[in-house]
Copies of this chain bind each other. A is one copy, B any other.
């Protein structure tokens, strides 16, 4: 077990592990990625991965949370007229999926979570504790947004996730080839209504 060339513990190693984990999870998915292989790619001892992150699941959360910059989501929502927050968020979301650098980890995240229960746990935690907070009008320090705000945030996520699935994974036409601006224009009112539209009245039980 030679250690030649391995990095010492510290911030650089942590970043190297995260980068390797992100690449590995993106390329082969949660099931086939191993902590050992990630450590090897990062040039560190597997024990250091466990030291920093604890478990493969926690490493997945940490690596994949890089795929969506939570602060950028919060800034996008805050930077302008609340009436066009839906358009800004849709535009941000389509842009990160169109970006060849950020699409692979997002694809890896989605694919892994659908096929593996541990990865689904990880994505659920990521969505609940980080990604959805700014959308729900909360911050990490104030994580108890109202139930309705959280429901609105999950509805926003549902439209974005479904759009990504249809366009980038299943590639169903004509959505797969639509111009990004066309996609944003269609999605924006949906996101706006989920963010800030009136609470719909719940009718009687669904008919039939």
Interface positions of A (Cβ within 8 A of B): 29, 88, 91-92, 94-95, 110-111, 113-115, 120, 123-124, 127-128, 132, 147, 150-151, 154-155, 157-163, 165-167, 169-175, 178-182, 184-186, 188-190, 193-194, 197, 200-208
A111 in complex: contacting residue of B114, B172, B208, CB < 8 Å: B114
Are the CB atoms of A185 and B158 closer together than 8 Å?
Answer: no
* Residues in B whose Cβ lies below 8 Å from that of A186: 151, 155, 194, 200
**Cα separation A185 to B132 with both chains bound (whole Å):** 21
- Chain B residue, CB-CB nearest to A190: B190
Given known A-B contacts A110-B114, A128-B173, A158 and B166 have beta carbons under 8 A apart = yes
Shortest distance from the beta carbon of A130 to any chain B beta carbon, whole Å: 13
- Main secondary structure, interface of A, reads helix
Are the CB atoms of B202 and A181 closer together than 8 Å?
Answer: yes
Shortest distance from the beta carbon of A168 to any chain B beta carbon, whole Å: 11
Are the CB atoms of B181 and A206 closer together than 8 Å?
Answer: yes
* 18 further A-B pairs in the complex, CB-CB below 8 A; given A94-B206, A154-B175: A91-B207, A95-B206, A113-B170, A120-B170, A127-B170, A150-B174, A151-B175, A151-B182, A154-B172, A154-B173, A159-B190, A161-B162, A161-B166, A162-B163, A165-B165, A180-B206, A181-B205, A190-B190
Are the CB atoms of B154 and A165 closer together than 8 Å?
Answer: no
A170 in complex: contacting residue of B123, B200, B207, CB < 8 Å: B123
* Residues in B whose Cβ lies below 8 Å from that of A200: 185-186, 188-189
A171 in complex: contacting residue of B29, B124, B151, B159, CB < 8 Å: B124
**Cα separation A162 to B181 with both chains bound (whole Å):** 20
Are the CB atoms of B185 and A172 closer together than 8 Å?
Answer: no
Shortest distance from the beta carbon of A164 to any chain B beta carbon, whole Å: 8
